[in-house]
Amino acid sequence: MNGTAAPTRVLVLNSGSSSVKYQLLDMADESRLASGVVERIGEEGGVPDHAAALDRAAAELRERGLGLDSPQLAAIGHRVVHGGTRFTAPTLITDEVVDEIERLVPLAPLHNPANITGIAVARRLRPDLPQVAVFDTAFHATIPEAAARYAIDAETAEKYGIRRYGFHGTSHAFVSAATADLLGRAPGDVNVIVLHLGNGASASAVRGGVCVDTSMGLTPLEGLVMGTRSGDVDPGVLLHLERVGGLDTDEVDRLLNKRSGLLGLCGANDMREIGRRMAEGDESAQLAFDVYVHRLRRYLGAFTAVLGRVDAVVFTAGVGENSAAVREAALRDLEPLGIVVDSVRNAVRAAGPRIVSAPSSRVAVAVVPTDEELAIARDTYELALRQ
Ligand code: ADP
């Protein structure tokens, strides 16, 4: 590349509560030049804080000759977890935008502060570059009020910003669009139920490329059973734990976020381990699997009714892409809903997007690998080019 060519590289930073993930992509051909993760922030053996984690990431890139000072870097994209009702699209970062993300901290106390630190360090290192915030909530901003509102006192809800925001939006957007591609149809013509099943898990109903419902709510705790998070519980359970169990707020928080889900039910949060234990006849692993699958089926039914017509059900993220057993169990005996899985196709392990339903299935069943970093890089590059 000669020195005058326009820069095409984008650095994507994902500052989580205890780790910083980074990827450097060349948007000329969407190739990945580098990726890495700095883990155990604030824990023993790790770096002390997020600023140090970002310095470490920058140093790792420098060692590979890909330092942040490179003239080939066009922009930096930041995953930001909570955009509230204000941010409904990727946004060029300014001081005012940072202030607004700061104001949203009470809605995402573990995540937004980490995101803000990431932004601050990156802006300090490259104040000349466009930096873009891509929000996890943005894709869900189109959800109609009937689905977004909780049926609680309206004034209280308004005062505290209590409504359903949804998360994993970048993944749901990427995967629903890729599914339309896979079907050879325009995104505007297809209705898709996306099942993003990773450590965190969420479902969304996407009508013609527009999100109309999702399983996560005010926080990423609502909805499906996850690795360590409960998903839906009767809110009365919390009251019961406080009143009868004497648990305080932090204890309830830890219980529902860290000691529940698959882990809470059977002591393991990795679907691979659960599969191995089930094969040995382990009853608690079987129960965890059954609860997980039951919840999935419940959302599948709910979102089928929300959409009316469903063209595709698509599985993505660690469990969705890799666990044929979960896909099979989630869709078993759903022929009355027009869903017929081809067991042979479903069992084949493959890397790319693929259809795993039978030709007779009215609803296509697809497996589409998600790529949130690529999606963030695309959004970032597109905005940067407009500067
Ligand atoms: P994150 O939400 O952290 O991005 P991933 O989408 O990578 O997580 O999903 C991680 C989870 O995927 C693991 O905890 C594990 O349960 C599951 N997983 C990964 N590989 C497999 C596999 N081959 N079979 C079943 N489950 C898998």
Q: Mean of the per-residue pLDDT values for the chain? A: 95
**Beta-carbon contacts of residue 192 (< 8 Å; ≥ 6 apart):** 176, 179, 180, 205, 206, 310, 311, 312, 313, 314
Closest Cα to atom 7 of ligand 1? 318
Count Cβ neighbours within 10 Å for each residue of 168-177 and write b for 16 or more, e otherwise: bbbbbbbbbb
Confirm whether residue 197 is marked as ligand binding. Answer: yes
Beta bridge partners of 20: 15, 38
Please indicate whether residue 171, judged by its CB atom, sits closer than 6 Å to ligand 1.
Answer: no
Closest Cα to atom 15 of ligand 1? 270
Two structure tokens written together for 327: 């896909």
For residue 387, pLDDT beyond 90: no
Confirm whether residue 272 is marked as ligand binding. Answer: yes
Closest Cα to atom 22 of ligand 1? 322
Q: Of the listed 49, 69, 136, 333, which one is catalytic? A: 136
Please indicate whether residue 270, judged by its CB atom, sits closer than 6 Å to ligand 1.
Answer: yes
Least confident segment among 124-128, 169-173, 176-180, 362-366: 124-128
Please indicate whether residue 227, judged by its CB atom, sits closer than 6 Å to ligand 1.
Answer: yes
pLDDT-derived band at 1, boundaries 50, 70, 90 = very low
Ligand 1 centroid distance, CA of 269 (Å) = 9
Read off the pLDDT of residues 170-197 as tens digits, 9 standing for 90 and up: 999 999 999 999 999 999 999 999 999 9
Residue 18: predicted pLDDT: 83
Q: Give the separation between CA 372 and CA 359, rounded to whole angstroms.
A: 30
Q: Is 136 noted as a catalytic residue in this protein?
A: yes
Domains of the chain from N-terminus onward? 9-135 (3.30.420.40), 184-372 (3.30.420.40)
- For ligand 1, mutation pick of 17, 216, 270 (most atoms within 8 Å of CB): 270
- 1/57: higher pLDDT: 57
Confirm whether residue 270 is marked as ligand binding. Answer: yes
One-letter amino acid at 171 equals S
Least confident segment among 12-26, 132-146, 260-274: 12-26
In the block, tokens 């698959």 appear at 262
One-letter amino acid at 302 equals A
For residue 328, pLDDT beyond 60: yes
Please indicate whether residue 326, judged by its CB atom, sits closer than 6 Å to ligand 1.
Answer: no
> Hey, is 207 helix, strand or coil?
strand
Contact 301, 320 (CB under 8 A): no
For residue 31, pLDDT beyond 50: yes
Please indicate whether residue 322, judged by its CB atom, sits closer than 6 Å to ligand 1.
Answer: yes
Beta bridge partners of 31: 26
For residue 4, pLDDT beyond 70: no
Closest Cα to atom 21 of ligand 1? 322
Torsional sign, CA 166, 168, 174, 178: negative
